[in-house]
Amino acid sequence: MFDTLLRPRLPAAAADYVAEVLRTHPCEVRLSRPRRTKLGDHRPPGRGRPRHRITVNEDLNPYAFLTTLLHEVAHAAAWERTRGRWRRPRPHGPEWQREFATLLGPVVAAPLLPDDVRDALAGAMRGPAAASCSDRGLALALARYDPPRPGLVRVEDLVPGTIFRTECGTVFRAGPVVRTRRQCFEWPSGREYRVHGLARVEPLADVPADPVSGRRGRTAGRSGRCGGSSRPRARRGR
């Protein structure tokens, strides 16, 4: 299963190391369709699941796939380190940081990756603030290896008020940047979401009419409400 599912999505030089990591930390790894809010996730054993379950977005470039997979395996390793304790580790607390740094160590030490990716991963090992895959420097280094996609721009580069469409077809209005993500409002419901700043989307010059009111959306550079009042955001990813 590793050779058919994961090896083709990993950097060739790092694939054998990842296979050894998964032998040491057994996990059920699945591919997921692209998600707006996260690149991967981890679920510990429970409710009939005897093993840790990890999902990784299937559209990631090899270096982003590797980093995300190790990020999630670190969650499984931290969970196992605290098995039997009354308090579980915080999602990106010191236990996870230690495990993530341990998993990254051989990748950074060996010439397995491009220099910019290796330097960014080395920075992620040094301090708690940079230990998450949401670190901007690391995310930018990984994003350099995404294939070119004409007509798409990064969410963080949009002018506030721009109407845009995601790959799954959902239409949003761009709000302010909030750390590594952007506050966005679904059109026409007005429901609030946080979309990662490095996500690539399609800006729209014209927006289909609201099927209820018949009003059309606002275009880039214009301000105002977008199809009703905003609601508390529905989800947050890592």
Which tens digits make up the pLDDT trace of 12-71? 999 999 999 999 999 999 999 988 678 899 999 987 888 999 999 999 999 999 999 999
Higher pLDDT: 144 or 65? It is: 65
Confidence at 222, pLDDT banded by 50, 70, 90: very low
Stretch 60-85: mean pLDDT:
91
Exposure string for 187-206, b = 16+ CB within 10 A, e = fewer: bbeebbbbbbbbbbbebbee
**How confident is residue 228, by pLDDT bands cut at 50, 70 and 90?**
very low
pLDDT interval class at 77 (50, 70, 90): very high
Confidence class for position 133, pLDDT limits 50, 70, 90:
low
Conformational region of residue 228, where left means phi above 0, alpha means psi within -120 to 50, and beta covers everything else: left
Average pLDDT score over residue span 92-100: 89
**What's the pLDDT at 35?**
82
- For residue 173, pLDDT over 80 is answered with yes
Q: What's the distance, CA 81 to chain centroid?
A: 25
The residue that leads in pLDDT, 226 or 148, is: 148
Q: What is the pLDDT of residue 28?
A: 94
The encoded tokens of residue 190 equal: 């007005």
Packing angle of the helix pair 94-109, 115-126 (nearest 10 deg)? 150
DSSP 208: P
Between 5 and 84, where is the model more confident? 5
Instruction: Please give the single-letter amino acid code of residue 53.
Output: R
Backbone φ, ψ for residue 122 (5° rounding): -60, -40
Helices (H) and strands (E) in the chain, counts: 5, 9
Judged by phi (left if over 0) then psi (alpha if -120 to 50, else beta), residue 80 lies in: alpha
What value does the mean pLDDT take over residues 209-232? 37
Is there a cis peptide before residue 188, judged by omega within 30 degrees of 0? Answer: yes
The Cα–Cα gap between 52 and 132 comes to 20
> Taking all residues of the chain, what is their mean pLDDT, rounded to a whole number?
82
pLDDT digits (tens, 9 = 90+) for 194-210: 887 878 899 998 765 55
